Structure 1
Amino acid sequence: MKQAAIIGGTGYGALELIRLLQNHPYVNVTKLISRSEEGVEVQDRYPHIRAVFKETFSGLSKEELTDIDIVFIAAPAGVANSLLPQLDDGTKQFIDLSGDLRIDEPGVYEKWYGLDAPQETIQKEAVYGLTEWKKDSVRSGRIISNPGCFATAALLGLLPLLPDYAEENGIIIDGKTGVSGAGRKQSLMTHFSETNENVTAYKTGAHQHTPEIEQYLTEAGNNPVTTMFQTHLIPMTRGIMNTMYVNVKKKTDFQALYETYYADSSFVRIQPAGVMPVTKQVLGSNFCDIGLSFDERTGRLLIVSVIDNLGKGASGQAVQNMNVMNGWEETEALWSVPQYP
């Protein structure tokens, strides 16, 4: 059995990793690291895992990771940048769930995240872990940069159109997310009285997933891509829906295009023609469900892409990447029916 540690052990992403890995046939989570909770039994803080996960929160040191094979960094942006140079001994696998290693250009990262860029050597070694697109690179990688939640839904919804079908500068992405996407830290925006029966547009023109989406669409299309991307907070706990509008260069059978592109992808489900997905149908899962509709009047293709932000948008995709890195079936610990209702 491989031994895994999770850094940032009090967040939703870490708790979802514990839930998923509890039934993994080849991995045990033996370290849950939180400086603020060191020495506390995890089940005393999170009673939903009582009797199932019996570890105690650990402190953070290189010694704590001596017998660890796989390290998940489920902490805010900036943490991986500071920790990786200290903790990396060249043998462990690291999967970072933050945005620290997603952006190639240091200046772009610093502009959008407001933090110092990561060390160049670590950045160059990191593999972008959008598994359906980069599986060969993930398979040979040791440090994985897990994609952002909005970016995952956007890229999976748009990649089949590049380079042949999408106009590079006509892409609009309207994103909606539940409150768990903001993490556990309290804020006025995610306060129940502010969120309930309300829809809030936030980070207008400033969402940090914008350069990530544009960087990888540019790579896929071999031409610079600019998007109009706006996020909204809606009153639900989990889920992301990206509604995307694309001016097309030429028409084709888009339904067949997507079905062929994702024919071998375990976790991308293309809806029947004319059927749009809803967030509830991927709840608690690693699926990304995509629906399509071509508007003859405007010449635009509409794509609706839904994921669970803690599943395919974070911890589920991290486990999927871990599986691929280690030569296991990518569906290990992930192949289950979404929660319903």
Structure 2
Amino acid sequence: MIKVGIIGGAGYTAGELIRLLLNHPQVELDFVFSTSNAGNPIHHIHQDLLGSMDQDFTDQINAEVEVLFLCLGHGNSKEFLTTHEFSSTTRIIDLSNDFRLERDANPLLKGKSHPSPFVYGLSEWQREKVQKAQYIANPGCFATAIQLALLPLASSGYLTRDVHINAVTGATGAGTSLSPTTHFTWRDNNFSHYKAFQHQHLDEIQESLSAQQSAAIGSLMFLPHRGNFSRGIFATSYTEVEASLEEIKQIYADCYKDAAFVHCAASPLHLKQVVNTNKCFLHLEKHGKYVLITSIIDNLLKGASGQAIQNMNLMLGFPEEQGLQLKANFF
């Protein structure tokens, strides 16, 4: 059994990560670190785990765990790793945005530079690098949905025109901390956009797409939206592409023929098809000179904790789908 630890155990992504790890046949959850909840039962915070585990949160760390998951707020993972030391063989998977960009990939561990950089963990496009990596930067949720939709076009050199992207995320995408736009009375029967054309995930999307296409990528015109539902991302992207729909479908079929979790659907999509799964579903249409790609994921699973488990499986040589064979909450 592989011993794993979680740092920052009280948030939504940590709760889903704990649920998945408890049901993973080759993993033992060694500790869940939370200074604000130390000594309290984990199921007091993650109430869906009542009856599934008797562990408490702790403020003590086992530095010898084989895998460490960082579920800290953005900007806090770097600080944590400069003040805490782990075994030289510990694999680290960070779910924040601290190490996603190439300029940030080289970590400081206990205040010292480390020769092994963080690898960007978009599993379907970085499989061999993930398998060899010691440190993984888990992609953002919007970034996962959008990149899986657009990377096949970039790999064929078709992203030379502006790309228009609209994506809606559920309330869990904002985390557990309360703000004016996360209260029920604000979210219920409401809809809005935010961070228009300047969302923090754009940089990692741009970096991945540019690595696939030699020609310059067209501008990414991204409008993120807040939905009045709990979880999931529904993203639509369109751009001018000269190829026929049949040619485009073949590109996607070739790119994802061996992907365990990415599937192209023949019919239009709806969000319930992927909620509570680690899947990404894609649908392709052609309208005149424009190709329209619809992409749907669960923001807490394929967009966060599920993809982290997928990366762990690849790193450790486990079957990629192990612990992630989940059915959607369709009804």
Give the match's secondary structure for 1:87. Answer: coil
Report the equivalent of 1:5. Answer: 5
Distance 1:126 1:91 in 2: 14
> Which one of 70, 73, 78 corresponds to residue 70 of structure 2?
73
Give the match's secondary structure for 1:76. Answer: coil
Contact 1:41 1:55 in 2 (8 A): yes
Would the alpha carbon gap of residues 75 and 97 (structure 1) be closer, same or farther in structure 2, given more than 3 Å must change? same
Would the alpha carbon gap of residues 329 and 244 (structure 1) be closer, same or farther in structure 2, given more than 3 Å must change? same
Distance 1:101 1:46 in 2: 27
Q: Does 1:236 align with 2:229?
A: yes
Contact 2:313 2:320 in 1 (8 A): yes
Report the equivalent of 1:166. Answer: 158
Contact 2:276 2:326 in 1 (8 A): no
Report the equivalent of 2:300. Answer: 310
Distance 1:153 1:67 in 2: 34
The range that moved more, 85-94 or 213-222, is 85-94
Contact 1:166 1:246 in 2 (8 A): no
Q: Which amino acid aligns with 1:132?
A: E
Report the equivalent of 1:248. Answer: 241
Distance 2:260 2:46 in 1: 32
Report the equivalent of 2:88. Answer: 90
Q: Which amino acid aligns with 2:68?
A: V
Q: Which amino acid aligns with 1:37?
A: N
Q: Which amino acid aligns with 2:55?
A: E
Unaligned runs of 5+ in 2: none
Report the equivalent of 2:47. Answer: 47
Report the equivalent of 2:14. Answer: 14
Q: Does 1:340 align with 2:330?
A: yes
Give the match's secondary structure for 1:65. Answer: coil
Q: Alpha-carbon deviation of 1:204?
A: 1.7
Q: Which amino acid aligns with 1:270?
A: C
Report the equivalent of 2:145. Answer: 153
After superposition, the C-alpha distances for 1:254-273 in whole angstroms (9 at most, x for unaligned) are: 2222122111101001001x
Give the match's secondary structure for 2:178. Answer: coil
Unaligned runs of 5+ in 1: 110-116
Contact 1:165 1:250 in 2 (8 A): no
| TM-score w.r.t. length of structure 1 | 0.91
Percent of pairs with identical residues: 35
Distance 2:159 2:242 in 1: 6
Q: Alpha-carbon deviation of 1:3?
A: 0.8
Distance 1:6 1:302 in 2: 39
RMSD across aligned C-alpha pairs, in angstroms? Answer: 1.8
Contact 2:65 2:87 in 1 (8 A): no
Q: Alpha-carbon deviation of 1:67?
A: 3.6
Q: Alpha-carbon deviation of 1:224?
A: 3.5
Q: Does 1:325 align with 2:323?
A: no
Would the alpha carbon gap of residues 20 and 314 (structure 1) be closer, same or farther in structure 2, given more than 3 Å must change? same
Distance 1:104 1:223 in 2: 19
Give the match's secondary structure for 2:159. Answer: strand
Q: Alpha-carbon deviation of 1:104?
A: 1.8
After superposition, the C-alpha distances for 1:176-207 in whole angstroms (9 at most, x for unaligned) are: 10000000000111111111111110112321
Would the alpha carbon gap of residues 318 and 179 (structure 1) be closer, same or farther in structure 2, given more than 3 Å must change? same
Q: Alpha-carbon deviation of 1:122?
A: 5.3
Distance 2:157 2:291 in 1: 10
The range that moved more, 228-237 or 47-56, is 47-56
Q: Which amino acid aligns with 1:217?
A: L
Report the equivalent of 1:30. Answer: 30
Report the equivalent of 2:118. Answer: 126
Q: Does 1:265 align with 2:256?
A: no
Report the equivalent of 1:291. Answer: 283
Contact 2:117 2:135 in 1 (8 A): yes
Q: Which amino acid aligns with 1:286?
A: N
Give the match's secondary structure for 1:4. Answer: strand
Distance 1:236 1:165 in 2: 36
Q: Alpha-carbon deviation of 1:118?
A: 5.7
Report the equivalent of 1:112. Answer: none
Distance 1:51 1:337 in 2: 21
Aligned residues: 325
Contact 1:95 1:145 in 2 (8 A): yes
Distance 2:197 2:115 in 1: 26
Distance 1:151 1:121 in 2: 28
Q: Does 1:142 align with 2:134?
A: yes
Give the match's secondary structure for 1:245. Answer: strand
Distance 1:146 1:156 in 2: 14
| TM-score w.r.t. length of structure 2 | 0.93
Report the equivalent of 1:183. Answer: 175
